[in-house]
Amino acid sequence: MDAADTAPARRLYATIWRWHFYAGLFAAPFLLILSITGAIYLFNDELNDLIYPELRFASSAAPSQPLSRLIGSAQARYPGSVITRIDLPTEPGRSAQLFVNPPDGEPLRVFVDPANATVLGSFVYPKTLVGFADIAHGSLFLGDVGDAIVEVASCWAVVLVVTGLYLWWPRGRERIGGVLVPRLGAKGRKFWRDLHKVTGLYAAALILLLLLTGLPWATVWGDQFFRPIVNSLGWAYAPGDRHNGGSVSRLPATPISEAEGAPWTVQQAPHPQSRVPAVAAGHEEHAGHLHMQPQAAFAPGIDVDTAARVLAENGFDGAYRLSLPQGPLGTYSAYTYPAQPQGQRNIHIDRYSGAVIHQAGFGDYGPAAKLIELGTAIHLGNYFGLLNQIVMLLTCIAITLLVVTGLVMWWRRRPAGGLGAPRTLAPLTLRAVALITITMAMLFPLAGASLVVVLVLDRLFKPGASRQAA
Residue 74 resides in a domain: yes
- Does one domain contain both 27 and 153? yes
- Does one domain contain both 259 and 358? yes
- Does one domain contain both 144 and 284? no
Residue 373 resides in a domain: no
- Does one domain contain both 263 and 305? yes
Counting runs of H as helices and runs of E as strands, what totals does the chain give? Answer: 15, 10
| Other Cβ atoms closer than 10 A to 245 | 12
Distances (CA, A) of 337 to 267, 311, 316, 344, 460: 12, 15, 12, 5, 51
Cα separation, 331 vs 12, in Å, equals 58
- Does one domain contain both 34 and 167? yes
The tens digit of pLDDT for each residue in 99-132 reads 999 999 999 999 999 999 999 999 999 999 999 9
For residue 80, the enclosing domain spans 53-127
Domain closes at, from 79, 102, 127: 127
- Does one domain contain both 107 and 211? no
Distance of CA 452 to the CA centre of its chain: 27
Task: Specify the range with the lowest mean pLDDT, choosing from 214-218, 395-399, 439-443.
Answer: 439-443
Task: Specify the range with the lowest mean pLDDT, choosing from 3-7, 18-22, 461-465.
Answer: 461-465
Alpha helical stretches, state H, 219-293? 227-232, 256-259, 264-267
The pLDDT of residue 427 is 64
User: Please, which pLDDT band fits residue 1 given cuts at 50, 70 and 90?
Assistant: very low
- Does one domain contain both 249 and 184? no
- Does one domain contain both 31 and 142? yes
Cα separation, 122 vs 130, in Å, equals 14
Is the per-residue pLDDT at 457 higher than 90?
A: no
- Does one domain contain both 443 and 416? yes
The pLDDT of residue 468 is 45
The pLDDT of residue 445 is 82
Which residues have C-beta within 8 Å of that of residue 309, sequence separation ≥ 6?
none
Residue 168 resides in a domain: yes
Calculate what percentage of the chain has a pLDDT beyond 70. Answer: 81
- Does one domain contain both 292 and 244? yes
Mean pLDDT value across residues 403-414: 90
23 phi-psi bin (left φ>0, alpha ψ -120 to 50, beta other): alpha
- Does one domain contain both 273 and 347? yes
- Classify residue 117 by its DSSP letter: T
The domain spanning residue 59 has which CATH number? Answer: 3.10.450
User: Please, which pLDDT band fits residue 344 given cuts at 50, 70 and 90?
Assistant: very high
